[in-house]
Amino acid sequence: MTGELSIDADRDRPEALPTAAGRDDLHSGRLYWPTRSGPVRMTPTIPTPAALDVLVLGAGITGAFVAHALARTGLRVGILDARGVGRGSTPASTALILYELDTPLTELCLRIGSIAASEAYLASWRALGDMQRLVAGLDDDADLIARPSVNLAVRRRDMRRLKAEAKARSELGIAVEVLGQRELRERFGISRPGALLSADAFEIDPLRLTVALLRSALRAGAALLPRGSVDTSALVESARPFRLRLAGGGEVTARHVVIATGYETPDEFAQVARRVQLRSTYVVATEPLAGDPWPQRALLWDTGDPYLYARTTSDGRVLVGGGDEVFTAAGPRDALIRTKSHQLLDQLCDLAPGIEPRPAFEWAGTFGQTEDGLPWIGRHRNWPDVHFALGYGGNGITFSLIAAQIISHGIAGAADAREDLFGFDR
């Protein structure tokens, strides 16, 4: 089973990102990553009916990590997406690769206990090293660049929490440095009450990474199915292997199915979807700037709620995001894009007053948060042989790698203690 997958070489041609009919509410506005890389070209060649060991539903960054991990074990893996490769939430990501969870370690200890919280943070931290090694073995480094991460205090009282956070992480062996107001200004030119500085972070191009992972999976024997939806009602039935009817005709069978559909969890698993609060977030990509906007091009994010976050790109832009809203409907979300864009650029200028940013791309996208800030990964007792890779939260790409590892271990029959941390019985 083979397929062809590439990114169009015409990188300078702006092109709207097509979506499946009726399923265009994951993002809106003009996205940066597709115009940077060009549209994804895919040529599925898998025949139907097809007999698979695993069918991965979702061909975004999460599905790509999962398919890559499974294909390398020798399993017959098929990949299906109603939208096509990298056309869901992935191109709307700002791709700040952090180990920090949305819930600080000190707070997570109070919620789930110090042992579980510590293991969750260590799992995320270790995943960064795994990601660096994995990307080094792909045919495209996807502009993965190590950057320092600077978590900025918004108010003076935030420094007490940041100092406690630094102490808790240091006790786990995670190096972090507390910067006072003067040191922050001297080292990064930023005027805030202080910050936590970490050397463990990356930036990356999420669309190129998705394509590189899928190319590697295809070379290992995985296959792309033609773009289209599938009848998921069979996943809640007892018959094995699963027999899944494709909307375009044909059928596939699979011993296991992985749900890597992000914020579009199939209706059959509504009780899973109800555990997530969906919101809209806003992003601006500036025109290329002359010089570095701040030292070391650090990844910036603050302690606000919602928090502001910013990073640079390989072509000299700044991506700045935030301004989250609790609604997800496309109409009201779209109406705020221009207003939010101006607000984000004002905040960026306040953060780095020496720059004069001009907006080039403005968009809004859906994202989800769980109550404890952890993802939902692994098997659910109600649906044997269905595996979930739902990496919700601000570091969803890190969670996607962890999900791929846990699920590949589970299908192989090997225990993975992280499934207890991130699973449905926690």
**Tens digits of per-residue pLDDT, 97-140?**
999 999 999 999 999 999 999 999 999 999 999 999 999 999 99
CATH of the domain at 44: 3.50.50.60
Could you tell me if 263 and 163 lie in one domain? no
Predicted local confidence at residue 3, as pLDDT: 54
CATH of the domain at 197: 3.30.9.10
Predicted local confidence at residue 9, as pLDDT: 41
Could you tell me if 3 and 90 lie in one domain? yes
The answer for residues whose C-beta is within 8 angstroms of residue 236's C-beta and 6 or more apart is 268, 382, 383
15 part of a folded domain: no
Could you tell me if 247 and 339 lie in one domain? no
Residue 13 scores a pLDDT above 60: no
The pLDDT tens digits for 248-286 are: 888 999 999 999 998 888 888 988 877 888 889 999 999
24 part of a folded domain: no
262 part of a folded domain: yes
Predicted local confidence at residue 221, as pLDDT: 93
Could you tell me if 173 and 55 lie in one domain? no
Question: Which SS3 state, helix, strand or coil, does residue 186 take?
Answer: helix
**Among 325, 340, 370, which residue terminates a domain?**
370
The pLDDT tens digits for 134-184 are: 999 999 999 999 999 999 999 999 999 999 999 999 999 999 999 999 999
Residue 11 scores a pLDDT above 80: no
Predicted local confidence at residue 16, as pLDDT: 37
Q: Sorting pLDDT into bands at 50, 70 and 90, what band is 45?
A: low
**Owning domain of residue 396:** 1-10+29-146+202-274+373-426
Domains in the chain: how many in total? 2
Could you tell me if 236 and 345 lie in one domain? no
* β partners of residue 246: 230
Predicted local confidence at residue 235, as pLDDT: 95
19 part of a folded domain: no
Residue 61 scores a pLDDT above 60: yes
306 burial level (CB within 10 Å; 0-12, 13-18, 19+): middle
Could you tell me if 67 and 108 lie in one domain? yes
Predicted local confidence at residue 264, as pLDDT: 86
d(CA 145, CA 405): 23
User: Could you tell me if 203 and 96 are in contact, meaning their C-beta atoms sit under 8 angstroms apart?
Assistant: yes
Could you tell me if 366 and 381 lie in one domain? no
Query: What is the C-alpha R_g of the chain?
Result: 21
User: Could you tell me if 368 and 392 are in contact, meaning their C-beta atoms sit under 8 angstroms apart?
Assistant: yes
Residue 19 scores a pLDDT above 60: no
Could you tell me if 316 and 345 lie in one domain? yes
Could you tell me if 227 and 360 lie in one domain? no
The pLDDT tens digits for 195-245 are: 999 999 999 999 999 999 999 999 999 999 988 899 999 999 999 999 999
Predicted local confidence at residue 69, as pLDDT: 98
The pLDDT tens digits for 349-393 are: 999 998 999 999 999 998 888 989 999 999 999 998 999 999 888
Q: Sorting pLDDT into bands at 50, 70 and 90, what band is 189?
A: very high
**Mean per-residue pLDDT over the chain, rounded:** 91
Average pLDDT over residues 35-44: 75
Could you tell me if 180 and 210 lie in one domain? no
Could you tell me if 298 and 191 lie in one domain? yes
The answer for residues whose C-beta is within 8 angstroms of residue 202's C-beta and 6 or more apart is 97, 128, 131, 132, 144, 145, 146, 147
Q: Find the Cα–Cα–Cα–Cα dihedral 16, 17, 19, 23, rounded to 10°.
A: -90
Could you tell me if 56 and 134 lie in one domain? yes
Predicted local confidence at residue 270, as pLDDT: 82
Average pLDDT over residues 315-329: 92
280 part of a folded domain: yes
Predicted local confidence at residue 277, as pLDDT: 84
